[in-house]
Amino acid sequence: MAAALLLGSTQLMAGASNNTGTHTEAFKSSAHVLRDGALMAYIHRLAAPGRSTLVLISETHGDRQQFLGPLVGELPTSLGVVIVESRGQGWSWPPPDLNQASIEAYASDVLEVVEHLQLRSWFAGGHSLGGMQAIEIAGRKPAGLRGIISLEGWTHHEVQAAAFGGLPARKESQRAADRKYREERYARLRWTPEEYQRLVGMWRQWTTGDRILQELSYPLLSIWGDRGMTVRPSRAALRLPEERVCELIWIEGADHYITHPAHAAKVGEAIARFVARVETSSSHSLSP
C-alpha cells in the first residue's frame, strides 16, 4: 500500500513541479516512506562535487512553492537543494497524529529524509515553523551538518511579544492582504479544522530553543523582517547568541513572511553568501 501511494504521489509531484516556473528544471520530485508509514515528499537538486546541500523546511502549512522562484533563483546552481514538505503539507500525507505533533517530531522526520539521501555535507534551514525545526535539528548534532539558517524562526514563543509586541495595529487593508496570501498558500490543504488548530498552536509548546542556541556549535544565519521599525529589536529580544556564532540580517520593509516573492531574492542572496562563507572559511570549525 505504501509503495503504491509513493508511486502515485511521486508521479503527481513530478507533474506539479513542471509548472513551477524558472529555476526548477534540475529538481527531481520524490518521496520517502517514514518509519511509521507516513509519506514524506520532497524535491531534490544534486550538489556539484565539493559543494554542500541546503535542506529547506517550509512554514506552517507551507510547501515547495514557498522557496521555488526568486529565493532558489539566487542560490548557485552548484549548491544542492532539498525542499521538504512536512506531514500533511504539499504532497506529504497524512497530517501528524494530534497527540504526537511537535517540533521535535517534525525535526525527526527531516532527519529521516537526510539519512535516506545520505547527505555528507549539509545545511538545515527553514521559515517560521521550519526555522524552529532547523534549530531543533542543530541540537541533535547530526552527522554532516555545517550550519543553520533560521528565517523568522522563533527561539521561544515569547519572542513575538518581546521583539514585536510594541508595533502599531495593522491596517485592515494590510490584514486583508495577509489573509489573501495565507488563503492562497493553504488552498491545497486537506486537513480537518482540528488538525489545523493543533498545528497552529504547536510552536508554543517548544521550549528547548534557548538552550540549543546557548550551546550552539554551528554557524547560524538568522533573518528577520524589520516590520518597518526605525529601531530594530535587539539580539536579546530575539534571544539570539553573540555575533561570533550568529549572523543577524534584517529585510527592510518585510514582515514575518520574508519568503514572499517581494523579499525572497534578498533572502536567497543572504543564504548564498552565508553558505559560501561557511564552506570556505575556518568558521565551520565550530562544528562538532
Q: What angle do CA 267, 268, 274 make, to 5 degrees?
A: 90
Out of 3.40.800.20, 3.20.20.140, 3.30.930.10, 3.40.50.1820, select the CATH number for domain 2-8+21-286: 3.40.50.1820
- Which helix (H) or strand (E) covers residue 116, if one does? helix 103-117
Task: State residue 202's pLDDT score.
Answer: 81
Task: State residue 11's pLDDT score.
Answer: 39
Task: State residue 174's pLDDT score.
Answer: 62
pLDDT tens readout for residues 265-275: 999 999 999 99
pTM above 0.95, yes or no: no
Comparing 197 with 125, the larger pLDDT belongs to 125
Give the amino acid at 242: E
- Which helix (H) or strand (E) covers residue 61, if one does? none
Lookup: cell for 149: 539558517
Quote the mean pLDDT of the chain: 86
pLDDT tens readout for residues 19-30: 333 466 789 999
To the nearest whole percent, how much of the chain has pLDDT over 70? Answer: 80
pLDDT tens readout for residues 244-263: 899 999 999 999 999 999 99
Task: State residue 23's pLDDT score.
Answer: 61
pLDDT tens readout for residues 104-158: 999 999 999 999 999 999 999 999 999 999 999 999 999 999 999 999 999 998 9
The phi, psi pair for 155, rounded to 5°, reads -80, -20
Lookup: cell for 286: 565550530
* Residue 280 confidence class, pLDDT cut points 50, 70, 90: very high
Contact at 8 Å (CB) between 277 and 285? no
